[in-house]
Amino acid sequence: MTHLLQVCDLTTQFKIEGKLIRAVDGVSYHIDAGEIVSIVGESGCGKSASQLSVLQLIPTPPGKIVSGQVLFEGVDLLKFKADSEPMRAVRGGKIGMIFQEPMTSLNPVLTIGQQIAETLMLHLKMDRGTAHTRAIELLGRVGIPDASQRVEHYPHQFSGGMRQRAMIAMAMACQPKLLIADEATTALDVTMQAQLLELLRDTVRQFNTALLIVTHNLGVVARYAQRIYVMYAGRVVESGTAKDIFGNPRHPYTIGLLRSVPRLDEPKGANLIPIPGLPPSLINRPPTCAFLARCAHRTEQCTREPWPLLTKVDDGHFVSCFVDIRAQPTLTVTVRENMTTQAAAPKSENDALVQVNHLKMYFPIMKGILRRQVADVKAVDDVSFHVQPGETLSLVGESGCGKTTTGRCVLRLYRPTDGQIIFAGRDISQLSKNQVRPLRRKMALIFQDPYGSLDPRQTAGNIVGEPLVVHHLVNGKGEYQDRVAQLFKMVGLNPWLSDRVPHEFSGGQRQRIGIARALASDPSFIVCDEPISALDVSIQAQIVNLLKELQAQLGLTYLFIGHDLSVVRHISDRVAVMYLGHIVEEADCSALYENPLHPYTKALLAAVPIPDPFVEERRAATMLLQGEVPSPINPPAGCPFHPRCPLAIRECSQALPPLREINSGHRVACIRA
């Protein structure tokens, strides 16, 4: 049978500083017309490198495609030179690629319309006027409002979701036979992710286009993919149908991935089971199985024989492993047996460590030579909540809803426009910098980006120890070194790593350094601002478990900011849902997930895919939110959610509904609740 795309024994190497890295090591896979296939694995496993090799986009030097075949419609693309006319005709014309970061993929000095039209003129030989008209049609098809006006805008004038839509429009412009989505929705909110993936699935159905999804999000894979290839250390270690991979995984690495993924349908408090260790270095990798050091079920055969080839175990199901999983009863996917019981936090607000009352944070917009204020960005608009000692309150919502601004106000990194922030019984909302400084040691922040938040010129030890010096918490060098070593051990790092600089650590290790720095001053309250969104799924599990262990050990209080509702369920005691600067629903974690009352909360939960194709089949049709969060400069009248709400009535646009208590501790701002 001739496949639309068939990759055979593809090998790609990089030579960096005299060292040879086998990024893609004998990879084979195929995809047919109208099929949705996914390639999954941790960062550095070769997913993206294999797709860049298919299109000959590997930078040379240092990269080089050493061997293999890439048969597209029966023609080997590797026989063409990378810059040849036949290869350029395939890229964008017959194979479209949607890259992970649209801002770096789009040309900042050309309008969106010019960039789409350029593709049409190059591949379809359209004249400029026809291409411009077609660009407007494509932008409208991918759901960009006012496409005739937006076509003249530049990339920086689009939001993140709209830029990704523009990338999809560009990839679809010539109606390619294959679309490659390389982590295309990783950086997006769950609602925007659901919109774009539904759009791609509709494209597959309408035009019989093949779709290859490259991702580490197993929920997305379970909802959309028909077949899956699991990659590790440059090789495919397991392949099969989605139901085979999720229902009957046969490789220890696949099972490890599934055990480490948080699920929306799990009870609160379930412990995730991370894969121990880190992926291996691909420099001078030994010939044995690359997963050997992390595998708890390796045998003597694994240590002495070369990495096994893919072997058929069932119809269409292939595995690269000597171990027969069916003979290993301890290898199970479920995480429900590993439950931790969390003590219920008291419900009274009187003993709250943090009390926020009617918080407002407006940012003025200044224009003109005289810098006159013309408007306000209402980032946070009348928000109230409390966090009790030892409790985790999570703020969730789409990007731009005011979560991070709220957290920074609570830490007094911003002075709020109005409202009260009571910390440990004292109103700190309007204190001066000098008055706030003594309180700083009792408050800490864990940043979203574990690399950008660390000083690249300092060693890890100096980064962790800096709060000890700033707050005068140690006496002498010996006590300082002992405390730094203790902090490293506390977050699971070996103290001898303290002399390394940030770029010498993995992403998960860098985030552990950030956590150790936050703990250095012995705080009672920590704001965790999207602390795991930039990490692989197996590393996410490690950090979530670490945060829970530290809370139980040190009695910490968390304000956890996130948009991944699966993770939020595993770490939260209570959850507050924010939309356009307002809290629209707040409840105990279990109550909110089992009985959401606000339409926005329901839409958020429906948009989160569950990493199980059997469960996804039984779920009701996803309630997709249309459009994006309105501008906080000019928010809609009445309920801020009513322009996107499928249940909105005329009264919703007339008055802002108050946050009222429906059940004990369950508050919602909706007149229809």
What proportion of the chain, given as a percentage, has pLDDT over 70? 95
Q: CA dist 433 to 308, 354, 415, 438, Å?
A: 62, 19, 10, 9
> What is the average pLDDT value for the chain, to the nearest integer?
87
- Domain membership of residue 284 (yes or no) is no
Q: CA dist 363 to 374, 380, 395, 417, 420, Å?
A: 11, 10, 21, 9, 18
- Domain membership of residue 460 (yes or no) is yes
pLDDT, tens only, 35-68: 999 999 888 888 888 999 999 998 888 888 999 9
Instruction: Give dist(CA 345, CA 573) in Å, integer.
Output: 7
Q: CA dist 92 to 46, 168, 170, 171, 210, Å?
A: 22, 11, 8, 6, 14
Q: Where are the beta strands (DSSP E) in 125-262?
A: 178-182, 210-215, 227-232, 235-241
pLDDT, tens only, 363-379: 988 888 878 888 888 89
The C-alpha angle with vertex 484 and arms to 483 and 486, in degrees rounded to 5, equals: 60
Residue 193 pLDDT: 83
The average pLDDT across 146-159 equals 85
Whether the predicted pLDDT of 508 surpasses 90: no
Task: Mark out the alpha helices in 7-111 (DSSP H runs).
Answer: 47-54, 85-90, 102-105
pLDDT, tens only, 124-139: 888 999 999 999 988 8
pLDDT, tens only, 653-669: 988 999 999 988 899 99
**pTM (predicted TM-score):** 0.85
- Domain membership of residue 653 (yes or no) is yes
- Domain membership of residue 543 (yes or no) is yes
pLDDT, tens only, 226-278: 999 999 989 999 999 999 999 999 999 999 999 888 888 877 666 788 888 77
Where in the sequence is the domain holding 457, given as residue range(s)? 432-577+586-668
The number of folded domains in the chain is 1
- Domain membership of residue 644 (yes or no) is yes
Whether the predicted pLDDT of 10 surpasses 90: yes
User: Largest Cα–Cα distance of the chain, in whole Å?
Assistant: 77
Beta sheet of 426-427, edge-to-edge order? 372-387, 354-367, 418-423, 426-427
Whether the predicted pLDDT of 225 surpasses 90: yes
Residue 420 pLDDT: 94
The average pLDDT across 371-397 equals 90
Residue 368 pLDDT: 80
The average pLDDT across 608-634 equals 78
The residue assigned the tokens 């019981």 is: 341
**Cα–chain-centroid distance for residue 218?**
12
Q: Which of 249-263, 279-293, 362-376, 621-635 has the highest mean pLDDT?
A: 249-263
All residues at 6 or more sequence positions from 594 whose CB lies less than 8 Å from its CB, including other chains: none
The secondary structure element, H or E, covering residue 147 is helix 147-150
pLDDT band (50, 70, 90) for residue 620: low
The average pLDDT across 592-614 equals 90
Residues 552/381, Cβ–Cβ less than 8 Å: no
Residues 571/545, Cβ–Cβ less than 8 Å: no
Residue 334 pLDDT: 47
Residues 155/166, Cβ–Cβ less than 8 Å: yes
Whether the predicted pLDDT of 178 surpasses 90: yes
pLDDT band (50, 70, 90) for residue 623: low
pLDDT, tens only, 305-336: 999 999 998 889 999 999 887 666 554 444 44
Residue 344 pLDDT: 45
pLDDT band (50, 70, 90) for residue 342: very low
The average pLDDT across 625-644 equals 84
All residues at 6 or more sequence positions from 290 whose CB lies less than 8 Å from its CB, including other chains: 232, 233, 234, 235, 279, 280, 307
- Based on its alpha-carbon atoms, the radius of gyration of the chain, rounded to whole angstroms, reads 26
- Domain membership of residue 216 (yes or no) is no
- Domain membership of residue 616 (yes or no) is yes
Residues 493/505, Cβ–Cβ less than 8 Å: no
Residues 58/12, Cβ–Cβ less than 8 Å: yes
- Domain membership of residue 552 (yes or no) is yes
Whether the predicted pLDDT of 349 surpasses 70: no
Beta bridge partners of 656: none
What's the CATH number where 644 sits? 3.40.50.300
Residues 299/322, Cβ–Cβ less than 8 Å: yes
DSSP per residue, 91-143? BTTTEEEE-S-HHHHS-TTS-HHHHHHHHHHHHS---HHHHHHHHHHHHHHTT
All residues at 6 or more sequence positions from 203 whose CB lies less than 8 Å from its CB, including other chains: 172, 179, 209, 211
Whether the predicted pLDDT of 348 surpasses 70: no
Residue 641 pLDDT: 92
